Structure 1
């Protein structure tokens, strides 16, 4: 083949390969983009969040925050489970949405032209304005001019302001610099740096200035009394959630939810909880069990780590179970007599010769021994992740009811070694006489929804702990 023929062949081949592989590339990038029908069929909505002390945090083992709880409310409205997709870098939120890694960015975002080019926005959840974060002047030394606050955007001339590049704050500073010819310097910081961290850096003197939404700034007032938040640098701006441009049904349903009276009331309550109660914000932010601080879940973390290792568990899974049982209250006693951190019945603890269930270590020792026993009970479940679901459900209602659900699954030609849509389904049905009185069952009535939801809650919380807390 001579050179001319080869060139002619390549001219034909390259476009042909492009036509062949472009659809494949498209599918690889966009196959996970979903609209409302897909979300309802799959039964879960993927909510993109980033950590900060207002919108999403884990405090005393509990996932919480304005955006987290608002998104929970929306998912309940849809009748689907919520799955958190963590964007550790705030700059990753919108790209994650664009490429189908999540369904909604449930973060109060300022609507900007740059953002509108790549995503769609909901109706506004709120309105705000941007303010300059600066330190209050200290008294001047004798003979020196008195320092003064910056009182207008024009006075930023010659100053350096630190913000994230992809933030609305950066866009606003660029407008001041380019449109109003204010010769300020913009220092960009990594996307993993939260607005709260930047506010703290101003308070400690690490940087001189940053910018925040007014309500975010005001929430920090009691935490940093040396800061001033009074200088406004932007007009009033709408805040909204983001959805993909290929999800019009979801956008419409989100707007319908936002227009409801009960939603508006719920959002006002959440706003008061997370933005307006400054002393609560201070206590929550300074607490050792804040997910942005020491990486702790509870005061019992060392005990949990030690006993989880004895049964081969990730300690965060055991912590999630413990939270579900007692919310880390060592003195908790249920109406049925279940006691302590792991809510053990005295008869269960008696099998391991443990009597003082109010003692945290004794309670955890008995609980983990019982879990080890349940591991042996379910050794016939081959898949480890599936086996864990059988173990958790059994911890809640006892293995007998779960065995009954297995027997029902066999009778109705389902797989007794699978959980979702198989054993789980028949455990739910054990509250109905048709099923708990069936000849294949032995243990009678069971409010089967409880162990199913119990298992789901522990696994969902464990997923959040994995994202927030080091192993």
Structure 2
């Protein structure tokens, strides 16, 4: 039967529209691909956005190790940027991995090479920095200030109060900082000559301020928010000479991480509204007494690479069992927070929370004595290590040892049997044995015929193991071996 001419024409018009629409969709997709390709070609930046971070199971944040951003105090990681980064990682429901920047001039290269996902330091947003990275919504704002010593009675040095008084002066500054750019601008607009002396990126802002205080340098230019806290440490410095107007401070992400940036801004909006951001800021920036207390404490890790009052005992016992002493310290912190007098509800005692029967088996008569407790605990670890010699990979065996220290080897062996029964790998911890140890808190699994030791609070043991390994990673980043 012959088609009706009208309908045939309509079908033809529809087909043409459809092809034009498909063409437009294809062209749009191609242009987006081309833009991404050009970004990759021009920047050389590998792609690692939010989905990749979640798939990898780690949010890697770059922090500087100093008395404000990130530090270890009495064995516990702390700091303004650290607490915020930990909060964001929890919001994403992924573990946090800290990457410590050793060179402040190397922040963006570490970001673009995928060694970190976020520069979680308060960076000043300037036109130059925006060419290198994308920035979150501001967390705060600051000005650049001149750090100088107050004249003492016998000093002929006068305070600089006007910008033109910087003519002929040497000012020490980090090269890739807003202060460096601002001083260069001042030279041009004021027609003066300032000797800009770039400092090594390994010199922290805190150390730079300290060099002005001790007379090594006469002048330095830094962010006001950092300088103001350090007046508590260095009573002879003056920071009242401002060099710039207020500029926003934010975190940086790679230019090709739009989903991460969007999630970061959503989280920032939430913590601003809830007051969490203000609370953390007050804790580290507005409490000068607290800042001075932790920054000068013997167990603030910047002082001498110390973690606890028991570092020498930890090092001695760690050598005996062939452990990194920082790993043993991480375990002790998880057990007792370095409280030698701690007693648990179950009767576990001291630094390593040993039961009296365990202490007795290793000839420890007084578990409140740190030396005896650590010796007995280390011997117990060596005993557990021998129980797991069948796990040949040492780094993998460590996870079985830690879990066994917490809940006993029997429960971990039950978890291995469950893993074998349900098709998982009995010699692999992550995603395999740890999964079934966590499931041993459920009746179906602790009553399974292959198990022998009954109920176990497996989720606690899994979290215990993860906490120790995470803290050990943090200690390794900042505490000398």
Same fold (TM over 0.5): yes
Rounded to whole Å, the distance in 1 between the matches of 2:201 and 2:95 is 28
Higher mean alpha-carbon deviation, 90-99 vs 387-396, is at 90-99
The yes-or-no answer on 1:366 pairing with 2:380 is no
Rounded to whole Å, the distance in 2 between the matches of 1:408 and 1:452 is 16
Q: Secondary structure at the match of 1:238?
A: strand
Cα gap change, 1:199 to 1:311, in 2 (>3 Å): same
Q: Secondary structure at the match of 1:414?
A: coil
Rounded to whole Å, the distance in 2 between the matches of 1:152 and 1:166 is 24
Q: Residues 344 and 357 of structure 1 are in contact (CA less than 8 Å); yes or no, is this contact kept in structure 2?
A: yes
Residue in structure 2 matching 1:160, options 160, 165, 170: 170
2:124 maps to 110
Task: For residue 303 of structure 1, report the CA deviation from its aligned partner.
Answer: 0.7
Cα gap change, 1:263 to 1:91, in 2 (>3 Å): farther
Q: Secondary structure at the match of 1:431?
A: coil
Q: Residues 99 and 477 of structure 2 are in contact (CA less than 8 Å); yes or no, is this contact kept in structure 1?
A: no
Deviation readout 1:335-370 (Å, 9 max, x if unpaired): 111111111111211211212100000000110011
Rounded to whole Å, the distance in 2 between the matches of 1:39 and 1:214 is 34
Deviation readout 1:53-78 (Å, 9 max, x if unpaired): 10011122111110011000000001
Count of aligned pairs between the two proteins = 443
1:134 maps to 148
Residue in structure 2 matching 1:97, options 94, 101, 111: 111
Q: Residues 29 and 100 of structure 1 are in contact (CA less than 8 Å); yes or no, is this contact kept in structure 2?
A: no
Cα gap change, 1:391 to 1:262, in 2 (>3 Å): farther
Rounded to whole Å, the distance in 2 between the matches of 1:213 and 1:222 is 16
Equivalent residues in 2 for 1:2-401 (5 A)?
30-31=45-46, 33-140=47-154, 147-261=157-271, 265-401=275-411
Rounded to whole Å, the distance in 1 between the matches of 2:339 and 2:162 is 51
Rounded to whole Å, the distance in 2 between the matches of 1:423 and 1:190 is 47
Unmatched tracts of structure 1, length 5 or more: 1-21
Normalised TM-score (structure 1): 0.91
Rounded to whole Å, the distance in 2 between the matches of 1:29 and 1:405 is 45
Rounded to whole Å, the distance in 1 between the matches of 2:272 and 2:164 is 43
Rounded to whole Å, the distance in 2 between the matches of 1:34 and 1:207 is 41
Rounded to whole Å, the distance in 1 between the matches of 2:296 and 2:157 is 30
- Bigger CA radius of gyration: 2
Task: For residue 215 of structure 1, report the CA deviation from its aligned partner.
Answer: 1.9
Q: Residues 427 and 452 of structure 1 are in contact (CA less than 8 Å); yes or no, is this contact kept in structure 2?
A: yes
Q: Secondary structure at the match of 1:470?
A: coil
Pairwise CA RMSD: 1.8
Q: Residues 144 and 178 of structure 2 are in contact (CA less than 8 Å); yes or no, is this contact kept in structure 1?
A: no
Deviation readout 1:435-462 (Å, 9 max, x if unpaired): 1111111111112111111111111111
2:29 maps to none
Rounded to whole Å, the distance in 2 between the matches of 1:461 and 1:46 is 15
Task: For residue 261 of structure 1, report the CA deviation from its aligned partner.
Answer: 4.4
Q: Secondary structure at the match of 2:364?
A: coil
Rounded to whole Å, the distance in 1 between the matches of 2:274 and 2:134 is 21
Rounded to whole Å, the distance in 1 between the matches of 2:359 and 2:272 is 45
Rounded to whole Å, the distance in 2 between the matches of 1:317 and 1:239 is 35
Q: Residues 405 and 430 of structure 1 are in contact (CA less than 8 Å); yes or no, is this contact kept in structure 2?
A: yes
Deviation readout 1:106-133 (Å, 9 max, x if unpaired): 0000011221111100000001111111
Task: For residue 264 of structure 1, report the CA deviation from its aligned partner.
Answer: 5.5
Residue in structure 2 matching 1:440, options 428, 433, 450: 450
Task: For residue 87 of structure 1, report the CA deviation from its aligned partner.
Answer: 1.4
Task: For residue 208 of structure 1, report the CA deviation from its aligned partner.
Answer: 0.4
Task: For residue 300 of structure 1, report the CA deviation from its aligned partner.
Answer: 0.8
Q: Residues 79 and 284 of structure 2 are in contact (CA less than 8 Å); yes or no, is this contact kept in structure 1?
A: yes
4+ residue segments displaced more than 6 Å: none
